[in-house]
Every structure is written in C-alpha cells, then in structure tokens.
Structure 1
Amino acid sequence: MTLIAFIVIVFGVGIAFFITLNQIVFKGKWGYFIFFLLIYLPIYITSLSLVYLVTRSPEAVLLFQSFKELIVLIAVFAFVIFQKRPFEYSFRLQTTDWLMMAFLGLTTVFLILPIGGASFVNKVLYFKGMIIPGLIYFLGRNTKFSELELNWVFQIIFVIAIAAFMVNVVESYILDMHLQQFTGYAFFNLHLSDIEPDGNYGLTWTFESTNAMKRFASFFSNPLELASSVLMGFAAGLIWFLTSDKQIQWKYALIMFCSISSLVFASSRASFAAFFVMLLFIALVFRLFKLIGFGFLCFLAFAVYVLFFASEDLYFYVIDTLKLADTSSVGHVVQWALAFDSMISNPQGIGLAMSGNFGSVTDDLRVGGENQFLIYGVQLGWLGMLLYIGMLISGIRESIVVFKNSESLNTARIAFVAGTVKVGLLLPMFTANVEIYTYVSWISWWMIGFSVHEYSKIQQERRNSILI
C-alpha cells in the first residue's frame, strides 16, 4: 500500500509540475503557478515523508522540496520575460504594497547585517521562507485571470476540503490511527529534521491533546495546519453558497460541513475560536447578520455534543481548556513572556532564525516561538512586527473594498475569501507560527495580492470619474 501511495504521489506531483511548467514557459501563462501550489502544498509533508520512506534518499526529498519554490521563481522570471514593454510597465502602489516592500526590505537588511547568533546559512533559509510569500503576493498583484480560471481556483479548494474530511473519517472511524503512522512521518522527522518521535502515537505531541485524545491532520503536516487551512474551505464554500442559485446551494453547504467537521477532527482550540470570530466578522462587515444565528447554532450543537455524546477524553479536554488548566495553555503564556522580554530588551530585534518553529531555527537559539506576531517582533524588532500587522490590516481592508465594488463575481469571491481568511487566522497566530503553514499562508497572500490589483483598478476608475 505504501509503495502504491508513493507511485501515485511521485507521478501525480511530477505530472502536475511539468504541465504547469509547460503552461508557464511555452505559453506565457505564468499565473498558472498557483494551480500547482493549490494541489501540492496540502500534501507537501506527506509527499516528502513517503518519498523518504521508500527511497531513503535525502536527495530525492530535496528535489520534491524544491518544487514549490522553483515553480514560484520560474513564474517570476516568466512574468519579467513576457512583458512586451517592460520599461513602460505601470504599477500604481497601494498601502499594502508599500507595507509589503518595507517589511521585505527590513528582512533583507537583517539578512545582510551580522545581527544575531544564527549562522548565515540558517538566516538564508529563514529569509527564503519570508521572501517567497512576498513573491507570491507580487505575482497575485499582477495576475489577470478569466472568470473560468478563477473558477478553477475555487474548485481545487473545494476538492481539498472534501478530500481532507474524507481522510479524517477514515483515520478516525475506520483505522482509529493517524495517516502519518503509515506515511513515514516520524521516520522522516527523525532522520532529516533530527526530531525524535514524541507522544503516545509515535509522532509528535501536536497529534494529541493533553489527555492523549487523538487529533487528526488528514494529509496536512499536522492538526494545527489542517485547522487553519479548513478556514479557507469554509470561507470559499460560504461565499459560493450565498452567491449561487438555490438549486445548487447544497453543494456549498456540503463544503462548509466538511470544513467544520475537519476543524473538530483537528481539535484546535484557537482555530475553533477563530471560526466564530470569522463568522462575526463576516456578519458585521458584509451585513450578513443571519450568520450570527448560524454561529450560535453551531456553538450550541457543539456544546450539546460535548455534554451528552462526546467521549470522556473530549469532554475533559474542553473543560481543561475553559479552565486554562492544561499544560499547552501554560506553555503558550511562558513563550509569550519570553518573547516580550526579548522585545523589551532588544526593541530593534535580535536577528533572523532566532524565533519560531521554522526548520532553520535551532533549539539552543530559539526565543519564544508560539505567536506569529511576537516571532517577527523578536527577530525584526517592534518595527518589523508593526509592519506585518499593518500588512494584514491593509490587505483585509482593501479586500473588503473589492468585494463590495468589483464587477467581476469571481474576483469579488476571491476578495471575500482573502479578507475573511486573514481575519480568521488572527487568533491562531497568537498560538502558532502560522506563516509556515504554506497552503493557507501562501494561497491567502496570493488572494490578497489579486484583490489589491482589483482595488487599484477601482481606485483609478474613481479618480477618472471625479476628473470627468
């Protein structure tokens, strides 16, 4: 079975990569890189684990690791090459553009200057993880897709949401085991990342709650990434439900059901709370007040399930969460305190690769690491953290404007998902290094960039109408 899965992964990813490469290089459709990322990023760690389990080759793993960055870089070069008049290219900068450039510029300064105790190689690796989302934003900022091509983006998101739920069902009710116990996840971590297997299931502690209740990740890297990623599936399903004919709304209700169910399987408290925050945001900003009632019914249904039907493990997990009595909650507070202390002592930052859970951050140098905002604050100082927060706020605001004013239905849908997902991720950012969850991070930054492109057009049309 493992060998069959390996063959499917290798041929599937390889074919998808070369089809995308053909579209970019020979047809000039550099924006198609996003389709490869949509397909590959959810199964990224699962793919690497299977490749190493079967081949035992770090070189083979490195090849598959490089696919996601390589396709982005090729798309950037193709964008430059296929410009007919490169010196006449117009780019009207918006607030999010300025903040993104300032943030990446500051990051580049920290890469060049001898700041911090991390090696230059580790700094470069960390820098790569920060610059690639910026390039993806830039590509999204310049992407011009038809309604059909935007429809493809959503269809892939829907397939991922349903597939993740189906794998969760198999894990929980048929196998009663994590998928990662079959894919060589622990073996991969041990030999290539020097991470010893932990927990009662031989994976990591992330795959279980404090009372050893299983937390499932489907084909994502861990339950926290699954929980963050399904927010995108829910937001996409919701906007299609609200903007489609009644005869087919059931399809998108199914997408929302699958996303909520996967959120329960992942048992992520921050993401579960983020789900309700996202519903409240949507209801208030987009004047969809019925969603408040829907959110209350979801909360009530969950409470009834926990009180009368859930296992004892889940019941006490929820009780401990409400009491803040579990070690995980205490651990977050400790990491926040360490990060704040570093930011107060070194307000200018202590350097790249000195905080967070990225692979290039060594344990002996790590300061804090369980809060996305503080991770950037520790490394880039207060300025870096404020620039990052500013990017999020500006991107959300401009996405809202696009949703309300765009004449393109699918562009408005993209803007809706971009804004709501970034809002939904705010709470998980307080307890996790969310930017390393490449699927939800990279795709949502592409959506923000795509929305800002439309925002720029809307602003230009308004200026022209005033002049007329």
Structure 2
Amino acid sequence: MGVIFFILIAFSVAAGFLWTLQEMIFKGKWTYFIFFLAAFLPFYITTLSVTFLATGSAAIVSLFQISKELIVLIAGLVFVIYQKKIFSYPLRMQATDWFMLAFIGLALIFLFLPIGQASFTNKALYFKSILIPSLIYLLGRNTPFGDLELKSLFQIIFIIAIGAFLMNLVENYLLNAHLQQFTGYALFNQEINDIEPQGNYNLTWTFETTNAMKRLGSFFSDPLELASSVLMGFAAGLIWFLTSERDQQWKYLLVMLCCIGSLVFASSRASFAAFFLMIFFVALVFKLYKLIGIGILSLLLFVGYVIFFAPEDFYFYVVDTLTLADSSSVGHVVEWVLALNSMVTNPMGIGLAMSGNFGSVTDELRVGGENQFLIYGVQLGWMGMFLYIATLFSGIWTSIYVFKNSENLNLARMAFVAGTVKAGLLLPLFTANVEIYTYVSWVSWWMVGLSVREYSRLQLEAFREELAI
C-alpha cells in the first residue's frame, strides 16, 4: 500500500514540477512557481514520509525536499533572464521592501561573522530558511498576475481548505487515528530528523492534548501547521463570501465552515485565539462594530458557561490555560524566559541556528524556540527582532491599504487575505516557530509582496495625478 501511495504522490509532484518548469522556462511565466508551492507545500511532510516509508532512501527523499527551494530559485533566475533591460528595471522601494532587505542583510552578516557555536553548514541552512521566503516576497513584489491567474490561486487555497477538513473527517470517523500513523511519519522523523517517537500515539507530543486527546493534523506536518494554515483558507473564503453575488456565497460559506471544523480537530488554543483576533481585525477593517459587540457578548456568554455550567474537566482545562498551569503553557513560558534572558545578556544576538525548531538547530545549542519574535531576537539581537516586526506590520498595513483602494477586485481580495492572515498569525507567532510552516508562511509572504507591488502602483498613480493638477 505504501508503494502505491508513493507512486501516486511521486507522479503528482513530478508532473506539477515539470509543468511549472515548462511554463516558466519556455513561456517566460516565472510567476507560476506560486501555483506549485500552494499545491505542494500542504503535503510536503506527508510526501517525504511516504517516500521514505516506501523506498527507505534518504537520497530520494532529498529530491522532494529540495524541489520547493529549487522551484523558487529557478523562478528568480528566469525572471532575471526574461528582463531585457534588467539594469533599467524600475525600482520604487516601499517601507516593507526596506525592512525586508535590512532583515536579510543583517542575517547575511551573521552568516559570515564568527558569532555563535553552530557550524557554518547549520548557519547556512538556517539562513536559507530566511532567504527563501524573502525571495518569494520579492517575486510576489514583481508578479503581474491577471484575474484568471489570481482566481486560480484562490481555487487552490479553497481546495486545500476543503480537502484538509475531509481528511480530518476520515481520520476521526473512519480511521480513528492520525493519518501520520500510516504514512511513516514517525520513521521519517527518527531516521531523517533524528527525532524519536513521542507521546501516546508514537508520533510527537504535538498530536495530543495534555489529557491525551487526539489532535489531528490532516495531511499537514502537524496539528499546529494545520491550524495556522486554515486561517488563510478562512480569510480567502470570507472575502469571497463578502464580495460575491448572493447565489454564489454558499460555496465560500462551505470553505469557511470547513476551516472552522479543521480548527476544532487541530485543538490549537493559540490558533483559536488567532481566529477570533482575525475576526476582530476584519470587523475593524469593514467597520462592522456590531460584529465586535456580538463577539464581546459571545465571550461573556462563554465565560458564564465555563463558570456555571461547564463539566469539571473542561472548567479546569480553561482555567489551567488562562493561568498557564498546564504543562504546555508552562513550557511556553520557560522557553520565553530563556530567550529573553539570552537577549538581555546578548542584545546583539548569539548567532544563526541557535534558537527555534528548524532542522539545522541542534538540541545542544538551542536557546528558546517557541516564540517566532524571540527566536529571531535570540539569534539576530533586538535589531533583528524589531526589523522582523517592522516588516510584518508594514506588510499588514500596506495590504489593507491596497484592499481598500485598489480598483482590481481580485487583487484587493488577495491583499485582504495577506493582511488578515498576517494579523491573525500574530498570536501563534508568540507560541510557535510559525515561519517553518511553509504553506501559510511562504504563500502569505508572496501575497504581501503582490500587495506592495499594487501599493507602489497606486502611489505612483496618485503622484502623477498631483502633477497633472
């Protein structure tokens, strides 16, 4: 059975990769790399696991591993080749561009400076994890997509969101087990990542709550990645629901319900909170103050239910979460304290590959690791953390500006998703190394880049109108 799954997956990935290469190289459509990433990244770890289970070959696994970076690098190369006058290419830098370049420049300096105890190889691998999303942002920044192409990307996002929920249903009601228990996930982690099976399900502790209840991850790498990723599906479904004809709205309502269902199956408290933060953010953007009032009322009703009517187990689960008394919350706090202590002691940073959960960070050297902001702060110092925060918030602001001001409906929709997803992920960023969740991280950074491109066009258009006056 594993061999059959491997053949199907290998054929699908190879076909998608080759089709993308054909479109990029022979037709100059370097922008199409984003279609491959959006369709492949949700299945990335499942693909690697099934491949190793079927072949037992680390070399074959590595072919699939490098495909995602390779497609980005080829897209960048084709972009340069197809520019007839590359040195006269118009550059209109915006705030997000400057912050992103400064962040990457600082990371590049840390790569070559003799700072930290990590090997140069591990530092280079970690730098790659920072560089690739930045290249994706840059490519998005130069992407001239039309309506059909934008709609196609939305369709991929919708299919992923619905497919993830359907797989959750299969896991919960047909298999009564995690999909990862059948894909060779534990074996892959043990042999390739040197991570021993953990927890009651012989996967990792991420796949269960503190009372050993299953947390489902669908075909994503784990429940936390699923929970973060469906926020993008929900935001996409929401904006299409709000901007479509009434007789078409049911399709996007279905997408949103599937995303909420996956959130429930993933049982991620940070992502639940992020979901409500995103709803609050949307209410502010649309000035739906009644929605904010309904949200506050719902919160009060929930508090009343917990205090007066909830079962004892659920009551203490909520209380332990709020008071940080459960082991998971305590673990977050411990990691934060370690990271902050390092930042106070070494405000200039202790070097790349010294914090976080990325593969090149060894357990012996890891300092902190469950807060994306602090992970960068530990490695790149306070300056690195603030540059990352500035890039993030300027990207959110720019995306929402484009959503409100662009006359291109589908571009405005994409900008809305970029802004709301990045805003919604602010809470998960406090409790997880979210940038390693490549699907939601890379695709949303591409969306931010696309939004900054449109923002630059709008600013230039406004400047020309002022000159005409």
Q: Assess same fold via TM > 0.5.
A: yes
Q: By how many angstroms is 1:6 displaced? A: 1.5
Q: Which amino acid aligns with 1:141?
A: R
Question: 2:464 corresponds to which residue?
Answer: 464
TM-score (norm 2): 0.96
Q: SS state of the match for residue 431, structure 2?
A: coil
Whether 2:117 is the aligned partner of 1:126: answer no
Structure 2 partner of 1:260? 260
| Number of equivalenced pairs | 468
Matched residues in 2 for 1:415 and 1:298: separation?
29
User: Given residue 292 of structure 1, which amino acid in structure 2 is its aligned partner?
Assistant: I
1:20 Cα offset (Å) = 0.4
Identify unmatched segments of 5+ residues in structure 2. Answer: none
Match of residue 343 from structure 2: 343
Structure 1 residues 314 and 51: CA distance shift in structure 2, 3 A: farther
CA contact (8 A) 1:213 1:313 kept: no
The aligned amino acid for 1:191 is E
Secondary structure of the residue aligned to 1:259 is helix
Q: Structure 1 residue 287: deviation in Å?
A: 1.6
Q: Deviations over 1:3-61 (max 9, x none)?
A: 32212111111100000000000000000000000000000000000000000000000
Change over 3 Å in CA distance of 1:9–1:78 after alignment to 2: same
Task: Name the counterpart of 1:10.
Answer: 10
Partner of 1:206: 206
2:286 maps to which residue?
286
2:364 alignment counterpart: 364
Identify the residue that residue 218 of structure 1 maps to in structure 2: 218
Deviation at 1:175, TM superposition (A): 1.4
Unpaired segments of 5 or more residues in structure 1?
Answer: none
Shift of 1:285: 2.3
Give yes or no for the alignment of 1:433 onto 2:428. no
Q: Secondary structure at the match of 1:430?
A: helix
2:420 is aligned to 420
Distance 1:35 1:173, change over 3 A: same
1:415 deviation in Å? 0.4
> How much does 1:173 deviate?
1.7
Q: Deviation at 1:325?
A: 2.0
8 Å Cα contact 1:216/1:222 also seen in 2: yes
Deviates more, 1:393-402 or 1:3-12: 3-12
Identify the residue that residue 27 of structure 2 maps to in structure 1.
Answer: 27
Look up the match of 1:228: 228
Question: Following TM superposition, by how much is the alpha carbon of 1:322 offset from its aligned partner in structure 2, in angstroms?
Answer: 3.2
Counterpart residue type for residue 119 of structure 1: S
- Provide the C-alpha distance between the structure 2 equivalents of 1:181 and 1:303, rounded to a whole number of angstroms: 37
Give the 3 Å change call, closer, same or farther, for CA 209–80 of structure 1 in structure 2: same
Q: Which amino acid aligns with 1:56?
A: G
Counterpart residue identity of residue 233, structure 2: G
Partner of 1:187: 187
Q: What corresponds to 2:79 in structure 1?
A: 79
Identify if the C-alpha distance between structure 1 residues 67 and 290 changes in structure 2 by more than 3 Å, giving closer, same or farther.
Answer: farther
TM-score, normalization: structure 1?
Answer: 0.96
Q: Is the alpha carbon distance of 1:81 and 1:392 closer, same or farther for their aligned partners in structure 2, counting shifts above 3 Å? A: same
Residue 325 (str. 1) matches residue 319 (str. 2): no
Given the superposition, is the C-alpha separation of residues 49 and 307 from structure 1 closer, same or farther in structure 2, using an over 3 Å criterion?
farther
Q: Which residue identity does 1:273 align to in structure 2?
A: A
Q: Percent identity?
A: 69
SS at structure 2 position matched to 1:26: helix
Q: Residue 358 of structure 1 contacts residue 436 of structure 1 at CA under 8 Å; is this kept in 2?
A: yes
Give the structure 2 partner of residue 65 of structure 1: 65
Over 4 Å off, 4+ runs: 293-316
Aligned residue for 2:173?
173
- Does the 8 A contact of 1:96 with 1:395 survive in 2? yes
Q: C-alpha distance in 2, partners of 1:22/1:272? A: 41
3-state DSSP class of the match of 1:351? Answer: coil
Query: For 2:38 and 2:455, how far apart are their aligned partners in 1?
Result: 24
SS in 2 for 1:39: helix
* 8 Å contact from structure 1 (residues 211, 317) kept in 2: no
1:399 counterpart residue number: 399
Q: Residues 311 and 180 from structure 1, CA distance in 2 versus in 1: closer, same or farther, beyond 3 angstroms?
A: farther
Q: How does 1:122-161 map to 2 (within 5 A)?
A: 122-161=122-161
Give the whole-Å Cα distance in 1 for the aligned partners of 2:310 and 2:222.
23
